[in-house]
Amino acid sequence: MAVLVLPQRFDATADVVIDELNRRGVPLVRADLGDLIVSAELDGARWSGVLATRHHAVKVDDVTGIYYRRPTNPTATEGVSGDAAKWIETEQRWGLRGLLAALPRATWVNWPPAVHAAEHKPYQLAQAAEAGLPVPDTLITNDPEKAAEFAERANPVLYKAFRGIPVEIDGQPRLFYATEVTPAAVPRRVGEGGPDPATAPHRQGIRRTRHPR
């Protein structure tokens, strides 16, 4: 029995899980996807081989659990760029994930397609409404006129990014926080006070009674 832990290189939450697995004496290998050294062969009915890092290794057929926590995509080796790099990265990504998906004994926390579906905010809101939870009026649009009309009708309105992940702007990491949008701040036509609009979510602001985490 062994657990494969797949976080990004720096992940404090994964560190806590690994500490507990070590305390329980569970064999494990921790690696970002691009750091795994893979040698696997399909011989007959099942895959066999080794998944390794520079310091640890585990047999493919010994993996009984996979902790999948936002690993980054593999990247091409230094010196490879352009279309060749894109092709290499695509092959690595599909090969590694395909091999892991084929492991018959592995329990996933969590199964990547389920993670991918659950991370879509429109899907989250629809599921919450279906479960009987109150959800704020929400608009998804790239039409400035519709955004301005919604801001006036549903005031106060919040903009909250679909994906709460850092981006790099002018060489500096940036985060987009939930931000109140006033009707006056929304240009009614493309090019009026700002760049061409991207598809964006706008929600009616509601006051919270609790702040669970």
Residue 5: predicted pLDDT? 94
pTM for this predicted structure: 0.66
Residue 3: predicted pLDDT? 93
Q: In what order do the strands lie in the sheet with 179-181?
A: 138-141, 200-204, 157-159, 179-181
Residue 193: predicted pLDDT? 52
Q: Which one, of 67, 59, 142, lies nearest residue 110 by Cα?
A: 67
**pLDDT under 50 in the chain at which residues?**
195
Residue 173: predicted pLDDT? 79
Residue 195: predicted pLDDT? 47
Residue 26: predicted pLDDT? 92
Q: Which one, of 181, 157, 156, 164, lies nearest residue 121 by Cα?
A: 164
Residue 178: predicted pLDDT? 82
Residue 23: predicted pLDDT? 96
Residue 170: predicted pLDDT? 85
DSSP strand pairing (107-109 vs 138-141): unpaired
